[in-house]
Structure formats: structure tokens, C-alpha cells
Amino acid sequence: MRRALLAITGLAAGTTMLVVLKGSPGASQVVPDRPVAEAPVAPSTPDPTPAPPGASANPLGSAPTGSAPTGSAPAKPGAKAGAGPTPDATPGSTARPTTAAPKASTGAPKPATTRTVTGPVVSYRYGSLQVRITLNGTRIVDATALGMPQGGQSGLRSDDVQGSYSGTAGEVVARQSANLNTVSGATYTSDAYRQSLQAALDWA
């Protein structure tokens, strides 16, 4: 019995140690975040650098230059960008609060024509996806995810997420933000979708 207790203690200690070892470089993680923040942008179609005229009010767009007014904002892209190249980390709660940003930028003068913006390719557990949104002015009128895995269990997840988020009547259009409910049973896919969508919104 004593050995069983020892083994259980060992299990608890070992698990804690592993998690802490993986989690602990978090302190140093903040520093490499800034350069990384631009990394997911690179492979995507729209370049963030010409964005400033349109997106100056956007806290995320200005994050690399360290905008003063949004106190908590720099931390958010940090956590999010850290997740970009790593499918494991789910942006989760950190991504959502920032999504009011695109709406805030409605005041900016925009030609009232439709255009499409494509988010970065986000790879996740079961594949990778890229969200393309269609905007009329600043209003999202359509959204779709490209390149999601088809077939099998992953395909079902793709269909679930596509079905509830995308389309002219989907949740993206309804909410006008990346603040979407996670599709149950498809956490990774939902997170990847929101991540790509958020970036697309930031550039829009």
C-alpha cells in the first residue's frame, strides 16, 4: 500500500513537473512574441504595412509599434501570435475581447464597395485553414474557410464549423466579429477559424 501511495504521489509530481517545465518559459516568451506577431502575416495575401491608413484605430494593427492608448492590447496579440505557429495553443479567451476593434473603425471613410480579405493560413491539429471574408464597406457580408481537411472525423469537424460560422447567414455575419461560440466537438477547428478570422478583420 505504501508503494501505491508513493506511485500516486510520483504520478502527480511527474505530471505537474512536466506541465510546469513546458509552461515555465512563459516569462521569456513575451519577448520573442513581438517579432513573431508579424510572422503569421507574411504568408497571407494582404500585407499589414499598407494597412495603417485604414486600420489606425485598430489596436491589433498598431500593436507592433506599441500603441499607448490600449493598455492591455499588446499582451493580447502576444499570446495570440505565440499560438500562431503552434497549433497546440488555443488563443481561447485572449482572442475574443479584441474583436470589437473592427467595429470601432467604422468611422473611417471607406468606399462602399465589396472587397475580400483573406486571413493567414492557420494550421491546427487536423489540418490547416484560411478564412476569407467579404466586406461591404466595413460590414462583413460573407465568410468562408478555405483548405479545411475533408473526409473522416476531421471532415465532419470542418463541415460543422463551416456550417455554423460561414455563409451569408452564418455566425460571423451575424456577430460581425471573431467573438464566436466554439462549435462543440470541434474546438481546435473553431479556434483556428477564429484566429484566421481575427487576423483578417485586423487587416480589413
Stretch that binds another protein, among 25-33, 40-48, 112-120, 140-148 (CB under 8 A): 25-33
Among 29, 67, 70, 116, the residue binding another protein under the rule CB under 8 A is 29
Among 45, 56, 86, 150, the residue binding another protein under the rule CB under 8 A is 86
Distance CA 40, CA 36 (A): 7
Query: Can you state the percent helix, strand and coil of the chain, rounding each to 5?
Result: 50, 15, 35
Alpha-helical runs (H) found in 50-186: 52-55, 75-83, 101-104, 152-165, 171-175
Stretch that binds another protein, among 26-34, 36-44, 56-64, 137-145 (CB under 8 A): 26-34
Is residue 113 within the footprint of another protein (CB under 8 A)?
Answer: no
Provide Rg for the chain, Cα atoms: 19
CB of 124 to another protein, least distance (A): 11
Question: Look-up: residue for cell 485586423?
Answer: 202
Is residue 125 within the footprint of another protein (CB under 8 A)?
Answer: yes
56-69 burial, b for 16+ CB within 10 Å, e for fewer?
ebbbbbbbbeebee
Q: Phi/psi of residue 128, each to 5°?
A: -145, 160
Stretch that binds another protein, among 37-45, 78-86, 128-136, 170-178 (CB under 8 A): 78-86
Among 11, 13, 39, 104, the residue binding another protein under the rule CB under 8 A is 11
Is residue 57 within the footprint of another protein (CB under 8 A)?
Answer: no
Cβ(195)–Cβ(203) below 8 Å: no
Q: Which of residues 140-159 bind another protein (CB under 8 A)?
A: 153
Is residue 34 within the footprint of another protein (CB under 8 A)?
Answer: no
Who's near 28: CB < 8 A, 6+ residues apart?
Answer: none
Q: Which of residues 165-194 bind another protein (CB under 8 A)?
A: 181-182, 184-185, 187
Distance CA 37, CA 67 (A): 14
Which of residues 4 and 68 has its CB atom nearest to another protein in the complex?
4
Interface ranges with another protein (CB under 8 A): 1, 3-4, 7-8, 11-12, 14-16, 18-19, 22-26, 28-29, 79, 82-83, 86, 88-90, 92-94, 125-126, 153, 181-182, 184-185, 187
